Structure 1
Amino acid sequence: MTTLEGWVPARIHEDAGRLRVDWCHLGDQRFTDPFFDETLERRLRHPFAMLFRHQTSMEDLVARQARRPGLPVRGLVFHMSRCGSTLVAQLLAALPRNIVLSEAGPVDTVLRAHQRLPGLTDAQRVEWLRAVVSALGQQRHPDERAVFLKLDAWHVLELPLLQRAFPGVPWMFLYRDPVEVMASHQNHRGAHMLPGLLPPEHLGLASGQLEGMPLDEYGARVLAAYCEAGRRGYQARQAPARLVDHRQLQREAMPLLTELFGVALTGDDDARLRDVLERNAKNPVLPFEDDTQEKARRVSPLARELAERWCRPVHDALEAERLKGHAPP
């Protein structure tokens, strides 16, 4: 296998019962877009990246990690969905010494590989996950020092496995008033809010329960499952961890980075981070606008009622846990 210097795993797919890795030449382009796929899409507009591809096996990827371990993972960002996690990722990515992998498809494929490959063990998933993150976290700029993973919302259901893969790494779980989150998905429903992406048993549901269940009820129960997983993980934490309410971000985001993730800020960093805080995290060409009241106004009565029924109790339990002010271990 070639050294693949400057290449990153772009996609992992199943082929005849095994996983194959498609690579993209990223060169010196950094992961600064709100989402991993956006960076890849921009890169694939370049003729070289479009014309020249590499494909390897997962075994090759694992072997490469032994030869070329990537930069260390210094933080994990879990979230309820639509609650400010992209802002945290953008703040971290604004600092040139960080590699930020924001909802990277290859990470998701490995985490959910056991759904497609019967008999796959957790130990294999941990090994593959470390190998994927190592390949994505190769130093391609002299000042890069650390990797941060901003996970997909459903990955909080795999929090114990991620902690096993990256022991001792600090993490946060972000959440928001469930009525506001439901309002956001009412406007543009995420794939995980539709039956099919997640096994029902991961949500505490039997497969027969999904038949005839209204989409809003399913979505509310999904969000409740995420929050409960975050709460349980926090109570059982074996590494520094923080529960973070969406309302804290504008005023407390920078202290979070320094206190939880140990990000040491230099003279130029403050201006970079304040610039991010003033912009829309998902569409940085737009200014930041607080949409709390708008979401509360436009949510449907049914979505509000279901959010209160299924999500409010666990949201309030998260708030109570956060307000206890327990110091992380």
Structure 2
Amino acid sequence: MDNYFSQYCALLGSQESLANCQQAESLGDLLTRIKQLWGCEHLDDGELLGEINRLNQIPVDDSVKLAGNWLPYRYQPRRKQVSWLVPVGHATEPFQDEYISRCSQLLFNQIFQPRTSLESARQQAVEIADVQPAGFIFHLSRCGSTLISGCLSELDSTCVFSESPLLTELLLDNQLTTDEQKKSLRIFINLQAAAFPARPQMIIKWNAWDIFRWELIRGLYPQVPTIFLVRDPVEILASHQRTTGRHMAGDPSLGVLHPVYAGQGAALSMLDCRIEVLRTLLLAMGKQSFSSNTRVVDYRQVNAQHVAEVLNFFGCVVDKLGFLKIQERMRFNSKAPGQIFVDDSIKKQHCFTVEEQERISLQINESYTQLLMLALKPREAVINDD
């Protein structure tokens, strides 16, 4: 069989060819279009699919222009490779993983799954603009960050990356030096933003554990407005009792970030382990809460008006229509947008025994209260009448 790698690369880098292929209404239609583009009408559909699958395994180099037309969405630390897909609209899903799943349903993305080396991805970014994100969201998990990021995505000018797997895996790659991580982080952010030129205000919601990478992230973006989201520790821990987050499940891969994740003693109960993780997160957040251009927001403050305030802080204009969209979004469960929101804070307060609540309070409440006092400082929101 002939080698079609040059045709494969040409298709990946051609806006016209990409648009043509995405108009295909069926697999047969798509393969017919590819055969015409590649001049391989003699191949049957099975042979062509096999060839494309083989080509997907070969990293393309930086001579193939992917930036702007393709979205880098996953980083493989062991192979030092980056996976790409064609974006389908902008993300409105609670998490970037769910947006990636939606994009993966596009027929074209099911067939073409290009990858590049990390170095090639760096070269892809050479000719694109250096982005200054509009805002960062750091949080303790289960404290309203998903609700806020979902509301922020309702504006026409914003592009929200909620716990991007691409950035997550990069910051966990301890085989890279700090300088290499910094360089790659800036490039990944630029490449992700380049896929959404009509939405220039990029907002990144980091993972809860990314607060331990504060110095690296803030060193790159010292001026980006940042909010710290907090919540009553009992309610956070109760939420993890029901559905455990990665950073509360004893995941050893997070040990590269902080000793609290490495080798927690077997003598500790699961609740005590989680208390210690949350205490450490609160201390780390409290340490940075007096940094310039930062604000603290408590879960109990999160309403449409406060979201508008956050958007103003991020430099985003909230007009009346945008405010109505935010109000509508807040009617629904942040992690299950089809379900009406029901506040379960009181229910969470009764998840633990009195003795367990006292243990939580003794070890965590002082750190939480300090952040809560910062959150309660009065702020003003502006809603544009235009």
TM-score, length-scaled by structure 2:
0.76
CA distance in 1, matches of 2:284, 2:183: 23
- Give 1:267 deviation, angstroms: 3.5
Q: Which amino acid aligns with 2:65?
A: T
Unaligned 5+ residue runs, structure 2?
Answer: 1-61, 381-386
Aligned-partner SS, 2:81:
strand
Q: Which amino acid aligns with 2:100?
A: L
Q: Which amino acid aligns with 2:272?
A: E
Report if aligned partners of 2:212, 2:257 keep a CA contact under 8 Å in 1: no
Report if aligned partners of 1:98, 1:147 keep a CA contact under 8 Å in 2: yes
CA distance in 1, matches of 2:328, 2:160: 18
Q: Which amino acid aligns with 2:180?
A: Q
Match of 1:128 in 2: 184
CA distance in 2, matches of 1:166, 1:291: 36
Report if aligned partners of 1:12, 1:106 keep a CA contact under 8 Å in 2: yes
- Give 1:300 deviation, angstroms: 4.6
- Partner residue of 1:184 out of 226, 239, 249: 239
Aligned-partner SS, 1:82:
coil
Pair 1:3-2:65 in alignment = yes
CA distance in 1, matches of 2:178, 2:131: 23
- Give 1:252 deviation, angstroms: 4.0
Q: Between 155-164 and 291-300, report the one with greater CA deviation.
A: 291-300
Change (3 A) 1:145 1:222: same
Pair 1:19-2:80 in alignment = yes
**1:214-246 per-position Cα deviation (integer Å, ceiling 9, x unaligned):** 1111111111111111110112x1x31101110
Pair 1:216-2:271 in alignment = yes
Aligned-partner SS, 1:210:
coil
- Give 1:306 deviation, angstroms: 3.6
- Partner residue of 1:54 out of 88, 110, 114: 114
TM-score, length-scaled by structure 1:
0.89
More strand by share: 1
Aligned-partner SS, 1:131:
helix
CA distance in 2, matches of 1:147, 1:188: 29
**Structure 1 segment 300-319 matched on structure 2, within 5 A:** 300-301=353-354, 303-319=356-372
CA distance in 2, matches of 1:184, 1:272: 27
Aligned-partner SS, 1:32:
coil
Aligned-partner SS, 1:96:
coil
Unaligned 5+ residue runs, structure 1?
Answer: none
Q: Which amino acid aligns with 1:261?
A: F
Pair 1:148-2:203 in alignment = yes
Report if aligned partners of 1:183, 1:300 keep a CA contact under 8 Å in 2: no
CA distance in 2, matches of 1:44, 1:280: 24
Match of 2:310 in 1: 257
CA RMSD of aligned residues (A): 2.2
CA distance in 2, matches of 1:206, 1:140: 38
CA distance in 1, matches of 2:122, 2:256: 31
Q: Between 105-114 and 65-74, report the one with greater CA deviation.
A: 65-74
- Give 1:303 deviation, angstroms: 4.6
Report if aligned partners of 2:332, 2:340 keep a CA contact under 8 Å in 1: yes
- Give 1:200 deviation, angstroms: 7.9
Change (3 A) 1:32 1:244: same
**Structure 1 segment 1-329 matched on structure 2, within 5 A:** 1=62, 2-4=64-66, 5-15=68-78, 18-26=79-87, 28-69=88-129, 71-114=131-174, 117=175, 120-140=176-196, 142=198, 144-195=199-250, 196-199=252-255, 202-203=258-259, 207=263, 209-235=264-290, 237=291, 239-250=292-303, 252-301=305-354, 303-323=356-376
- Give 1:147 deviation, angstroms: 0.6
Report if aligned partners of 1:279, 1:285 keep a CA contact under 8 Å in 2: yes
Change (3 A) 1:156 1:81: same
Percent identical residues: 27
**1:186-216 per-position Cα deviation (integer Å, ceiling 9, x unaligned):** 1111121022242187155774x52332111
Report if aligned partners of 1:35, 1:102 keep a CA contact under 8 Å in 2: yes
Aligned-partner SS, 1:268:
helix
Alignment size in residue pairs: 316
